[in-house]
Structures are given as structure tokens and as C-alpha cells.
Amino acid sequence: MWEYTDKVMDHFLNPRNVGEIDAADAVGEVGNITCGDAMKLFLKVEPETERITEVKFQTFGCASAIASASALTVLIEGKTLAEAAKITNQDIADYLGDLPEEKMHCSVMGQEALEATLANYRGEAYEHEHVHDHSAIVCTCFGVTEAKIEQVVRENNLATVEQVTNYSKAGGGCEGCLEQIREIIDQTRAAMAREAAATTDDPTEEVGKRPLTNLERMKLIMEAIDREVRPSLQLDGGDIELVDIDGRKVYVALRGACSGCKAANFTLKSLVETKIRDHVGEEVEVLEVCR
């Protein structure tokens, strides 16, 4: 039995704004009944102010899906379309006093239903759905695409396969796609790190923009491993050991689930090396040693 908050149970047992709106100004539908969850959202909008005057929903799904849909309608009713567009799946979960992580995909479905409905109001194609239709399906059990997995990783800062399953259902069936999901997570997080590094200050500014001394570089490398790398690896049962530092060459040994993994070299370069470079602010090279 899931641990639901009182507010989740209230919105499940007494959902607000259930039904449909005749001659609605906008309708959006997401999900797939064959996969267990689907939601349809209806809006009436005051054209001059673009304020939502009425909202209703129909949902097929579990208690979390119904509660999330109900909460969404409460959050957006009376708001302008611009204000409603800022609502995220985390806002829905926060309003409900949190959701079990295994049910976060229900709040994601609510956010996507809102996005689809707003697109419909403006006569536009639903962007996320359009992208999904043209990207490769990774999870055939639930029809989840590569673009969808990348989206939930980016929007919710996910780091593990289990989290992706909780937010999108990908990998929750036969589990044959778990390795591919792991690769997409690593690629996406590496891209996120590069993007963040491009928009942040150079770490060497802390030492007056002069070249780092060997001791300063070693300290930053050890900090990066302890604060950035090791926690990410441990989420999936892996670990890392710092063996030696020789100038800008960092020698490490992968441990736990990472040791002997087929994606070890990818993890070493795209996760470990990227995070260390971002933290140090210099081109360092990470090399694996066996010991």
C-alpha cells in the first residue's frame, strides 16, 4: 500500500472539477489507456484577458492520477494562460503534500495534459507529443520514447533508472530497456553539465584567474569526486576509488555495479570526466586502472 498524504486521499475520494465542458475553448488529451493512465483536460477561457474561467477533467488511472488531475484543476482555475503555463509536475506534487516517488509519473501526466491543452487553445501542435512521435521508442511495454526520457531527466534532474521509471514508466515492464535508459540518462546529464558549465563562472576565478597550483587542482578533483561523482554512481549501486593524481591525469578504479559494466567506459568519460572538468575548470583526463 502506498503512503498517501491526507490531501492526496482527499482529492482522490473527492476530486474537484470532474467532467467535461461543452463547447470548450481548449481540450488536451495525453496518456494511453492500454498503458494504464490517460487524462483529458477541458478549459473555458475569457478571450480578452486569457483567464481560465472553468476547467474540468476526465482521468483513467490510479488514486495518484486522479488526485494529480484534481489538484491541477485547482491550481490553474482563475489563472491566466501565461500563469498556468508555469505550473510544473513538481508544483502538483507539492500541492498534494508530496507523492510517492513511484507515482510521480501521474503528476507528469498532469503537466503534459496542461501543455497539450494550452497548445490546442493556440491552434498549435503539442510539441512534446510531436517530438515523441518522431523519436525512437525505448520502452515498448509502455511506448516511452528516447525524447520523453530525456525530457523527464532534464525537467526533474533525475539520475537513476529507477527514477526514470517512476516519472515515465519506462523500464517498468519487461525491463529489457534498462541498459538503454541508463545510457540516455548518462548522455543527458553529461549534456546538462556541459550546458551549465557554459553559463557559469570559471572556477579559477576563485583563485584570481591564475593557473591552479598542483595542490589546488588536487583539492578540486577530490571535491568533485566526493560531491559530484560518487553520489551519482552510488544511486545505481556503483562507486569509485581515487587511485592517483598526476598533474591533469586522474587515475581511478570503478567499484560495485560499475566495475565490469558494459557502459563503464562511457560512464568514465561522460559522467566522471565531465563532472571533474566542470568542477576544476581545466581539461583533465580520467583514466581507469585495475587494482
Residue 63 pLDDT > 80: yes
Say which residue, 159 or 18, is predicted with more confidence: 18
Give the pLDDT mean for 18-40. Answer: 85
Q: Rounded to whole angstroms, how far apart are CA atoms 183 and 193?
A: 15
pLDDT value of position 200: 56
**H or E element in which residue 37 lies:** strand 37-46
pLDDT value of position 207: 41
Query: 190 with 182: CB under 8 angstroms?
Result: no
Same-fold call for 135-183 versus 205-288: no
Predicted confidence band of residue 55 (pLDDT cuts 50, 70, 90): very high
Domain 205-288, CATH class in plain words: alpha beta
Predicted confidence band of residue 92 (pLDDT cuts 50, 70, 90): very high
Is-catalytic flag, 35? yes
pLDDT value of position 204: 44
Query: 45 with 26: CB under 8 angstroms?
Result: yes
Give the pLDDT mean for 139-164. Answer: 85
Long-range contact pairs involving 248-251 (C-beta distance under 8 Å, separation at least 24): 248/217, 248/282, 248/283, 248/284, 248/285, 249/284, 249/285, 249/287, 250/221, 250/276, 250/284, 250/285, 250/286, 250/287, 251/287, 251/288, 251/289
pLDDT in tens, 203-223: 444 444 567 788 888 889 998
Residue 132 pLDDT > 50: no
Q: Name the maximum alpha-carbon separation found in the chain.
A: 70
Q: What is the CATH number of domain 6-130?
A: 3.90.1010.10
- Other beta carbons within 10 Å of 241: 13
Domain map of the chain by residue range? 6-130, 135-183, 205-288
pLDDT in tens, 64-82: 999 999 999 999 999 999 9
pLDDT in tens, 227-267: 888 888 888 788 899 999 988 899 998 888 877 777 777 77
**Is CATH 3.40.50.1360 the right assignment for the domain spanning 135-183?**
no
Catalytic residue among 106, 139, 177, 258: 106
Residue 171 pLDDT > 60: yes
The percent of residues in the chain predicted with pLDDT above 70, rounded, is 89
pLDDT value of position 277: 87
